[in-house]
Amino acid sequence: MSLKLEKVIPWGRCLDEYIGMFSLTSSDLKRAILDCAGGPASFNAEMTRQGNKVISCDPVYQFTAVEIGDRIQETYQTVIDGVKANVDGYLWNSFESPYQLGEVRMKAMQEFLADFPSGLEQGRYLTAELPVLPFDNGQFDLALCSHFLFAYSHLLSEEFHLEAIMEMCRVAKEVRVFPLLQSFSGEESEHLNPIIAELKNRNFRVEVQEAPYEFQKGGNKMLRVRGSM
């Protein structure tokens, strides 16, 4: 049984997980980064504390920290129950159990909620939604997208995926998307190969690379897209 959500939910991860998911090097962390569909991840808060520069964008940022916190509470058990129902679909190396996974995720999301009001004032969190972003061409060195594109392939069309990746390529010199599995199952997204073919057709440099992170079995690959040749 795989977890198949009927809408996008707020669910956040920490800096260490971002480093693994996106194969981020120490030099990558010093670049101008856009966290696209960032949700309630603590990535921005942790990076800012280290003196690095990240802008996160997500439509959920239109709400207050209290409202986002309430939404997290409403959907938290749904995700944990889904993981419990498919416990064999995950590698339990970094996490001891679904319960401990929930504790780690909640800690990251609480860190986001604490940082959100000041980050909003500082312009580090912006309300914006793919496939249209309010940024200048080439404003960022690197755009990251975690657990949104491809993961929600049952909700988002192939056309949406292409437009979203093209838009991230417009605002950043390089785009990285993780993971490439759909519907929180062990299946590769049906959109992946057509998207790769179309991006290559438009002269983008496209690679599927293995990442040093795997929690969901088979979920250890990212899509890396760089500007037209």
Q: Rounded mean pLDDT of the chain?
A: 93
Q: Closest Cα partner for 216 from 40, 98, 52?
A: 98
Q: Is 102 left (phi over 0), alpha (psi -120 to 50) or beta?
A: alpha
φ, ψ for residue 90, nearest 5 deg = -125, 155
State the sign of the Cα–Cα–Cα–Cα dihedral 191, 194, 196, 198: negative
Ramachandran region, residue 46 (left: φ > 0; alpha: ψ -120 to 50; beta: rest): alpha
Q: Is the pLDDT of residue 61 over 50?
A: yes
What digits encode the pLDDT tens for the residues 20-34? 999 999 999 999 999
Q: What is the model's pLDDT at position 205?
A: 97
Give pLDDT tens digits for 180-189: 998 667 789 9
Mean pLDDT of 67-77: 91
Render pLDDT for 98-151 as a digit per residue (tens, 0 to 9): 999 999 999 999 999 999 999 999 999 999 999 999 999 999 999 999 999 999
**Structural tokens at position 66:** 């209290």
Q: What is the mean pLDDT of residues 47-72?
A: 96
Question: Cα separations (Å) of 188 from 97, 126, 191?
Answer: 25, 30, 9
With a cut of 50, say whether residue 56 has pLDDT above it. Answer: yes
Predicted TM-score (pTM) above 0.75: yes
What is the percent of the chain where pLDDT is above 70? 95
Assign residue 65 a region: left if phi > 0, alpha if psi is -120 to 50, beta otherwise? alpha
pLDDT for position 86: 86
* Across 161-182, average pLDDT: 97
Domains of the chain: 15-228 (3.40.50.150)
What phi and psi, each to the nearest 5 degrees, are found at residue 222?
-125, 155
Tell me if 133 sits within 8 A of 171, measured CB to CB. yes
Show the tokens assigned to 171: 């605002």
User: Any residues with CB less than 8 A from the CB of 65 and at least 6 apart, and which?
Assistant: 113, 116, 117
Task: Output b/e per residue, 35-63; b: 16+ Cβ within 10 A.
Answer: bbbbbbbbbbbbbbeeebebbbbbebbee
pLDDT at 43 > cutoff 60: yes
